[in-house]
Structure 1
Amino acid sequence: MEKRQILIADDDAAIVAALDILCDGKGYATTTANSVEQVNYLVKKQDFDLVLLDMNFQLDTTSGAEGLALIESIRNAQPLCAIVVMTGWSSVELSVEAMQLGANDFIEKPWENERLLSIIANQLKLKDSRSQSEKLAQHNQLLQKSSSDNQDYIAQAPSSSQMLNTALQVAQSELSIVIYGDNGTGKSLLAKKIHHMSSRAEQAFVSVNMGAIPESLFESEMFGHVKGAFTDAKADRAGRFELADKGTLFLDEIANIPLSQQAKLLRVLESKEFERVGGNKTQIADVRVICATNADLTALVEQGKFRRDLLFRLAGIDITVPALKQRQHDILPLAQQCLQKWVNKYQKSQIQFSVLAEQALLAYDWPGNVRELQHCIERAVVLCQGETIEPSDLRLTLDVVSGGADASEHAQNNTTFDSDMTLDDIEKQVIIQRLDKYKGNAIETAKSLGLSRSAFYRRLEKYQL
């Protein structure tokens, strides 16, 4: 078990030595400081469980002003750290002020060893409780989001029905899963379905788009960081593995993880151990991993772009989600599901599809798959003037409906924008149409828009594409 980290801050060398011996005898790891500057430096660079803080650092000073200022500084740097203040010039007013600023307890000099050790032990327990409460709050937020995302998975077509049966068979196991499929086929939705059908359903489902993480922030995003670990680390932050502990971690676009980071991912998958960036505590995460990609991972292994041992570790079983054009029986049920979703969101009166609109939906090739269908229905709900959606509301051109080779290009060249659309609305529509043009290829789409990969993925997340 790792030693608890205690910072002893006092300008009296004899007091520091006595506290150091006392704490060391109880198995605590101690760091010492004898000035305000040292304390401020250390709390920004190292993670402490508790600080024993003198209230005065200058000779002939009894006001406690230095200690009060340090309490605020420590609390800003390490919100969960326990602070026990000490002074030889105790007063009720100073005690109250110290507690109001964030101190957890107060002791007079000279102290009784047993009383001080009891205070330290109690404050460390309370600090652990605060840490657990914060983690539980984050966990509950993830559970609420996961629950709200849990919708019925439409699988009436033979190809999708067979796929779903396989997914549900392995849901109760602890096997890691790789979900293959074109962009927009609903891989993330299937991952959530597997989670909700597993023994981990009451725990968190944490999703991360591997293509959207800059290489320089990979470790921070996945494993978390402590305050001061790097320039922008303003506070401690839990990583995705920590948040997904006991639950499911969904790694979308797994093929986009840089080769240089794959070894770090492999290590935590094999050992279940990791450290926050800048931290010195080894943590354990019990997660079930589900990955998704539209790439051929085996081919990437042969090309030297993906580690073979990582693929073996991830691919307990492979599941392929068929394209929407291969799921004809699912198109209308999916459209109805989308229709109800957007009607509720936009608070519209009950709307239904006309027979011709349904025929148009069935005739369309859906190069953007389920994602394109969702946006098509959303647009139709917004544009529909009555209680029936007609083909004109769907805005599926004849070339597109007939599945012509130039359908995507035709749609791209006939882009129209409503006069009341915002810049965000226009950008979202352009991205959707460009994705259609490049048949869901994210890299080609990003290049055509003049965007970096990470900038493009940030926009996909922004517009929930």
Structure 2
Amino acid sequence: MKHSRILIIDDDPDVLTAVKLLLKREVSEVVADKNPENIPSILSRQPIDLVLLDMNFKSAINTGNEGIYWLNRIRAMKPDIPVIMITAYGAIDLAVTSLKQGATDFIVKPWQNEHLLKVVRDILDKKQGKKSSIASGPKVNPDIIGESEVMKTLMHKISKIAPTDANILILGENGTGKDVIADMIHHESRRALMPYIKVDVGALTDTLFESELFGHKKGAFTDAREDRVGRFEAADKGTIFLDEIGNISLQQQAKLLSVLQNRKVVPLGSNTPIPIDIRLLCATNVPLTALANEDRFRKDLIYRINTVEVQVPPLRERGHDILLLAKHFMQKYAAKYAKQVPELDRRTEEKLLLYHYPGNVRELQYSIERAIIMSEGNTLAPEDVIFSPIEQANMRVNPKQEAYNLSELEKNAIMKVIEKHNGNISKAAQELGLTRTALYRRLSKYNI
């Protein structure tokens, strides 16, 4: 950083002064300008290593998103210069758009000085060929295990959105760890020391929904023997996580939308609205756009709950993260059941990598727990790992049994060829006369 030259563009003189004071001892020079129209001339007359660019200006260019306009101008002139966008809470969605347009990162006003310095340092280090501390580690949170590219991308996105107050919709199949992601977002946010309330809204009836979320007064209904504070009020100044939101009824959606719009709750049996200050996280395994197209989910509520959308990848797309997770669970359950941590047999590793995990991380976890309980040696063998109660430990087909069903014949042929080639999908596909993609589709179809 000591040899770097940074350009800061913002029409607020207080921001320019604050950044200059913060960075002047860290870098070679800070060039500050409140007029974005001077960007081309500044970039053409002196070398700049990094640009800090505000998202909104009162300038001759009035597109409604001047930051995006000037980002594109900078990238057209100097595509190698990293750009950090400066935004306010209300423009998080626009800042996320800027990342897609080529911005390197964004920070939110008011920022924490340590955070801004870390972002600048990481970007300059990466530009100089050093490994960025953001992307280098296999995990950002001790509960998140993974080195795959899809997980690194997910962790980087979370590191950007967690410190904001943006409403976040977490999507993913059952068992992928959406609740773990929600926990991480809260604990990395500025509300980390405030309440964190989880609610499985998909399990609430219409009557319980209103009472649980918004509270009730004594006598509001038959069993209301005392006043009760609702989950939204309990989460005031903190975060509320609504799990399985895709399963709530249209009537429940209407009540939830009213609360999110007004930021007030009215307990059952009361006419007095109570103001709430909450950060909203939601999760579902159902694509809400599909529900909206079927008129099962209100589109106006979708817009409210997903300022930023986070997609948690299924385990089958995470490659060798499967083995990292398996070893993590082996250590966990060996300690729980007072056993020695076994080694993973090579054939067991192949079996773990080949399986398609319809239950995702949760299924792997329970399978490893069963394997630790049942194993007797110092090595976890393939037959120790059983993915479901109906799966046979020995996948060999009995040659004496004749099958004439076409699906069974195809399944048996695939299993034999994969076993012949010791799990090598490429060789198996070649012998079967299929592409790798076609073979993977059949593996999924037959639950192999």
Question: What is the TM-score with the length of structure 2 in the denominator?
Answer: 0.54
Shift of 1:399: 9.5
Determine which structure has more spread, i.e. the larger CA radius of gyration: 1
Partner of 1:129: none
Name the CA shift for 1:278/1:345 in 2 (closer, same or farther; >3 Å): farther
Q: Of 357, 361, 366, which aligns to 2:357?
A: 366
Partner of 1:248: 239
Cα offsets for 1:137-158 (capped at 9, x unmatched): xxxxxxxxxxxxx842123111
Counterpart contact for 2:386–2:393, Cα < 8 Å: no
Which segment drifts farther, 194-203 or 351-360? Answer: 351-360
Q: Of 196, 221, 227, which aligns to 1:230?
A: 221
The 2-side partners of 1:400 and 1:243 are apart by 52
Tell me the secondary structure at the aligned position of residue 225 of structure 1.
coil
The 2-side partners of 1:246 and 1:159 are apart by 32
Shift of 1:372: 0.8
Name the CA shift for 1:379/1:185 in 2 (closer, same or farther; >3 Å): same
Cα offsets for 1:354-392 (capped at 9, x unmatched): 333222211211111111111111211222224432222
The 1-side partners of 2:346 and 2:236 are apart by 48
Partner of 2:107: none
The 2-side partners of 1:245 and 1:375 are apart by 36
Name the CA shift for 1:379/1:161 in 2 (closer, same or farther; >3 Å): same
Partner of 1:393: 384
The 1-side partners of 2:233 and 2:337 are apart by 36
Name the CA shift for 1:316/1:158 in 2 (closer, same or farther; >3 Å): same
Write the mapping of 1:342-357 to structure 2, written as runs, cut at 5 A. 342-357=333-348
Shift of 1:351: 3.6
The 1-side partners of 2:366 and 2:218 are apart by 41
Shift of 1:227: 2.9
Partner of 2:136: none
The 2-side partners of 1:329 and 1:401 are apart by 23
Q: Which residue type is aligned with residue 232 of structure 2? A: F
Cα offsets for 1:292-342 (capped at 9, x unmatched): 112121222222211111111111011111111110121111112222332
Q: Of 130, 135, 154, which aligns to 1:163?
A: 154
Counterpart contact for 1:200–1:246, Cα < 8 Å: yes
Q: Of 182, 192, 198, which aligns to 2:183?
A: 192
Shift of 1:209: 1.3
1:210 pairs with 2:208: no
Which 4+ runs in 1 deviate beyond 4 A?
396-402, 436-439
Partner of 2:282: 291
Partner of 2:402: none
Cα offsets for 1:50-92 (capped at 9, x unmatched): xxxxxxxxxxxxxxxxxxxxxxxxxxxxxxxxxxxxxxxxxxx
Shift of 1:398: 7.2
Counterpart contact for 1:253–1:292, Cα < 8 Å: yes
The 1-side partners of 2:278 and 2:147 are apart by 31
Counterpart contact for 1:365–1:401, Cα < 8 Å: no
The 1-side partners of 2:224 and 2:353 are apart by 51
Which segment drifts farther, 354-363 or 268-277? Answer: 354-363
Q: Of 303, 307, 323, which aligns to 1:332?
A: 323
Partner of 1:304: 295
The 1-side partners of 2:395 and 2:309 are apart by 33
The 2-side partners of 1:236 and 1:362 are apart by 53
Partner of 2:255: 264
The 2-side partners of 1:206 and 1:389 are apart by 39
The 1-side partners of 2:392 and 2:312 are apart by 28
Structure 2 residues without counterparts, runs of 5 or longer: 1-140, 397-406, 413-443
RMSD between aligned residues = 2.9
Tell me the secondary structure at the aligned position of residue 261 of structure 2.
helix
Shift of 1:401: 8.3
The 2-side partners of 1:193 and 1:401 are apart by 39
Partner of 1:133: none
Partner of 1:381: 372
Counterpart contact for 2:383–2:393, Cα < 8 Å: no
Structure 1 residues without counterparts, runs of 5 or longer: 1-149, 411-435, 440-465
Partner of 1:103: none
Q: Which residue type is aligned with residue 207 of structure 1? A: K
Q: Of 201, 204, 207, which aligns to 2:192?
A: 201
Write the mapping of 1:441-460 to structure 2, written as runs, cut at 5 A. none
Name the CA shift for 1:399/1:342 in 2 (closer, same or farther; >3 Å): closer
Tell me the secondary structure at the aligned position of residue 328 of structure 1.
coil
Tell me the secondary structure at the aligned position of residue 298 of structure 1.
helix
Counterpart contact for 2:334–2:372, Cα < 8 Å: yes
Name the CA shift for 1:283/1:362 in 2 (closer, same or farther; >3 Å): same
The 2-side partners of 1:208 and 1:229 are apart by 22
Partner of 1:112: none
Name the CA shift for 1:334/1:279 in 2 (closer, same or farther; >3 Å): same
Name the CA shift for 1:350/1:216 in 2 (closer, same or farther; >3 Å): same
The 2-side partners of 1:230 and 1:273 are apart by 21
- From the two aligned structures, give the one with the greater helix fraction: 1
Partner of 1:153: 144
Q: Which residue type is aligned with residue 181 of structure 1? A: G
Q: Which residue type is aligned with residue 322 of structure 1? A: P
Equivalences, count: 261
Counterpart contact for 2:383–2:394, Cα < 8 Å: no
The 2-side partners of 1:223 and 1:201 are apart by 22
Partner of 2:423: none
Shift of 1:176: 0.5
The 2-side partners of 1:248 and 1:390 are apart by 44
Matched-pair identity in %: 45
Partner of 1:102: none
The 2-side partners of 1:238 and 1:182 are apart by 32
Shift of 1:276: 1.9
Q: Which residue type is aligned with residue 363 of structure 2? A: E
Counterpart contact for 1:155–1:164, Cα < 8 Å: no
